[in-house]
Amino acid sequence: MSERLVNMLSTEEIAARVRDLGAQITKDYKDKNLVLVVVLKGSFVFASDLCRAIDLPLRIDFLGVRSYGEGTESSGVVQITHDLSKPIANEDVIIVEDIVDTGLTIAHLMDLFRTRNPRSVKVCALLHKPARARVSVGIDYLGFTIEDKFVVGYGLDFAERYRNIPYIGVVERS
């Protein structure tokens, strides 16, 4: 069986959208204490481009999560494998996610973070697959809405592979 990647979003399309998101966040967070919380591992590529598109002093922290799911399906039971390095009380948090699929992971993280008394919590996601939503989550900054296909690249993996592909693609088997 062979695998090939079909392009869904090109490197150029992603770069242009990430620049727009960064400019919007720069406007919205002028007088705030911005902390980008990067949800590992999938968001590391998106976050590294996004943070360089934001022209503000900011802090970056990382959150490791593991979702107990069957295959490619999220269960919504999220285990924190690496917690933030500092408290977020009185800070303006943006959670940076690669993709919101069922919405269960982000819903869980919003609930968790609210117990830590930040001044605000918003969500920035590169991708959204509304067809598979199980809970409704507000995405404050969204890159692209995509159809219901399993995508890889630009940080996203399939069984830990393809994270380094510089565009977003769909794996096809033949």
Joined together, the tokens standing for residue 21 give 């998101």
Give 16-50 as a DSSP string. HHHHHHHHHHHHHTTTS-EEEEEEETTTHHHHHHH
Nearer to Mg ion, 92 or 98 (CB): 98
Q: Which does 91 bind (CB under 5 to 8 A by kind): ligand IMP, Mg ion, none?
A: none
The residues pairing with 172 across neighbouring beta strands, listed in sequence order, are 4
Smallest distance from ligand IMP to CB 54, Å: 21
Does residue 91 touch Mg ion according to CB under 5 A? no
Which residue is catalytic, options 61, 83, 101, 148?
101
According to the binding rule CB under 5 A, does residue 42 interact with Mg ion? yes
- DSSP string covering 68-113: --BTTB--S-EEEEE--SS--TT-EEEEEEEEESSSHHHHHHHHHH
Contact, 152 vs 162, CB < 8 A? yes
Residues 6+ apart with CB under 8 A from 38: 44, 47, 60, 61, 62, 63, 96
Q: Which of residues 130-159 bind ligand IMP (CB under 6 A)?
A: 150-152, 156
Q: Decide whether 56 or 64 has the Cβ nearer to ligand IMP.
A: 64
| Shortest separation between residue 51's beta carbon and ligand IMP, angstroms | 18
Structure tokens at 160: 């830990």
83 in active site: no
109 touches, from ligand IMP, Mg ion, none (C-beta below 5 to 8 Å by class):
none
Binding-site member from 49, 91, 92, 101 for ligand IMP (CB under 6 A): 101
C-alpha distances (whole Å) from 24 to each of 20, 29, 46 are: 6, 9, 16
Out of 21, 25, 49, 105, the residue judged to bind ligand IMP by CB under 6 A? 105
Q: Position of tokens 């940076």? A: 96
Q: Using CB under 5 A, pick the residue from 49, 91, 92, 98 that binds Mg ion.
A: 98
Catalytic residues: 101
User: In the complex, which residues of this chain contact ligand IMP (CB under 6 A)?
Assistant: 42, 67, 74, 97-105, 150-152, 156
